[in-house]
Structure 1
């Protein structure tokens, strides 16, 4: 048994009901903030989420994550929460046995109706204990980046006027907030053959439904036609102002998560090129800020059709 494996057993042994039992530990791939350990024990299988240093710079509140994870489980789409050890930075959830989605799965278009149904179920569930607003998170991330001298992409600050125009367009008609995951990339969707589960609630909070849809569209690299399909499946009808709002939220998510990548590039211990990840987001955001559709989207988002 390697040293890292022994270390993970030391971590798992902090959980009272697992200590002293015979269990196997497997480190799951895919996470970029937490380490996720699949633990097979005599009573079943669970996932131990291990918080990593630097999460405070990313505005992650693990108490909110725990509360919201419990609420998502009550809504019927989140993994049941088995334990929470805040002092040890551990949360234990039930292992969901199913196929983890990829971007290609979502781009195939075969699952968008089911995904929309799962998102709607989460949004109809118990309200979360925290709020999420990319208009507040993006400047908070920017303050961290600038104060600590982290890398900032060329022209990044030049787009502040466009961000303000989006904010003003959205303010014409405020939308209610609902409990949102806010990080629905493909890897946080698991299909067990009967339903789709939505996992990982580090960035969860009450937010506009169109942010959830726009962020998912952006993260998976869906087409504009697929964004129409996703929003229509969620709403039950196609409304241009809702699509425009989702698309602009997708733009804001790319712009904000760019800074998340800059912070992770500086502080994360994961073997991952966070700067390349951030620049891919940023390049797509720039193309939309500078693109021919920007003014039209602002008009549509402020409309009522």
Structure 2
């Protein structure tokens, strides 16, 4: 698995050099399998180690509570095993001021699917552009960020016209951020890395091994190659994408009507259509009800506000069609990406979640949508003289 491992400890040690020169780092780690009462003193000790101003405070000055988590970071709606992933730590300083921060613990073995170095590199620039929380510190298996006073959206929230328009406007702005890195899109590199690892797994559980052996990896590989070849013809603009814009990574302060994008674990240079198509897939929610995938009118509403945030009604029919084609072709790539991700997680993750079943959910939806989406793209390319 060496080619896909991004070591969290090395990231913590190198963060000062490669991300922010003034970001404190700690070699400490926090065991994620501990129950919250046993985790609290370790979290407090970590905060004292990271922040000099808190080092002398008594533990009574601190409170620790669980906020939330995602499938990668230890929780989901369907998970039976609760392990804190994102925690709010509040402290009262010597002047009686309350200060809150967020401590985020990486899911066990997520270095197999997440490039933490790439994530930390991006956070600095995304934060400066107004996205997400400010990075305050890094440690052996996580990071500390400023606390965002907002609620997490639900899948149903995302499709509300007003919020959908705001997400689109914010995504337009997000895609303008320049990250000092290679501008080469990483989507297909990551998918092929996932494929290489997912195709050689062995499961200890015999039932899981039998399910795994029903997968035709030759078929999956052909699907990836075919889709890559087709999307290459679209010449989709390359942007730094969030690439995981599900409801759990969107927060809203209702009083201020301020929307936040958070968690840039899967952020990389990619294609604008992939980020949008992946977001549309997330309308299905944790239950993967793809009947909730947005219809053409809903997609056009989103695309208008993405392409021209200030004058959405002035978007041309041609520009609407181009991005509609992009999104609904790269939507298929999203299914392949997360299907292969699910296989690796099925082997590596200790989280009580049916990742193997998740592979089949995503791959079967890819197969269900494939013919219509590829035909749409090929017809467009033939009409434009590209195909």
TM-score, normalised with respect to structure 2: 0.70
1:288 corresponds in structure 2 to 369
Establish whether residue 224 from structure 1 lines up as the match of residue 316 from structure 2.
no
1:101-140 per-position Cα deviation (integer Å, ceiling 9, x unaligned)? 1111113333111001111121122325466533222221
1:123 corresponds in structure 2 to 175
CA distance in 2, matches of 1:302, 1:239: 18
Aligned residues: 300
CA distance in 1, matches of 2:35, 2:264: 30
1:207 corresponds in structure 2 to 270
CA distance in 1, matches of 2:369, 2:137: 43
SS in 2 for 1:83: strand
2:250 corresponds in structure 1 to 189
CA distance in 2, matches of 1:19, 1:31: 31
Is contact 2:187–2:270 with CA below 8 Å preserved after alignment?
no
1:143 corresponds in structure 2 to 196
The alpha carbon displacement at 1:4 in A equals 3.6
2:125 corresponds in structure 1 to 71
SS in 2 for 1:206: strand
1:269 corresponds in structure 2 to 350
Is contact 1:99–1:191 with CA below 8 Å preserved after alignment?
yes
1:262-300 per-position Cα deviation (integer Å, ceiling 9, x unaligned)? 1112221223222333322222111012x3342222332
TM-score, normalised with respect to structure 1: 0.88
Quickly say closer, same or farther: Cα 1:173–1:3, change in 2 above 3 A.
closer
2:379 corresponds in structure 1 to 299
CA distance in 2, matches of 1:26, 1:302: 56
2:146 corresponds in structure 1 to 94
1:5 corresponds in structure 2 to 37
Is contact 1:12–1:48 with CA below 8 Å preserved after alignment?
no
1:130-185 per-position Cα deviation (integer Å, ceiling 9, x unaligned)? 66533222221111122223636645542544433332333235333222111111
CA distance in 1, matches of 2:179, 2:383: 28
* RMSD, aligned CA: 2.5
1:23 corresponds in structure 2 to 62
1:83 corresponds in structure 2 to 137
CA distance in 2, matches of 1:164, 1:299: 19
Is contact 2:239–2:271 with CA below 8 Å preserved after alignment?
yes
**Over 6 Å off, 4+ runs:** none
2:99 corresponds in structure 1 to 44
Identify the match of residue 14 of structure 1 among 29, 46, 52.
Answer: 46
CA distance in 2, matches of 1:242, 1:156: 31
SS in 1 for 2:89: strand
CA distance in 1, matches of 2:188, 2:62: 44
Identify the match of residue 159 of structure 2 among 107, 114, 126.
Answer: 107
1:176 corresponds in structure 2 to 237
SS in 1 for 2:145: strand
1:174-207 per-position Cα deviation (integer Å, ceiling 9, x unaligned)? 3332221111111100111332111001111122
Unaligned runs of 5+ in 2: 1-33, 74-84, 93-97, 204-211, 285-292, 309-314
CA distance in 2, matches of 1:227, 1:156: 32
Is contact 1:100–1:187 with CA below 8 Å preserved after alignment?
yes
Quickly say closer, same or farther: Cα 1:133–1:187, change in 2 above 3 A.
same
2:11 corresponds in structure 1 to none
Quickly say closer, same or farther: Cα 1:260–1:153, change in 2 above 3 A.
farther
Quickly say closer, same or farther: Cα 1:195–1:296, change in 2 above 3 A.
same
Is contact 1:26–1:38 with CA below 8 Å preserved after alignment?
yes
Unaligned runs of 5+ in 1: none
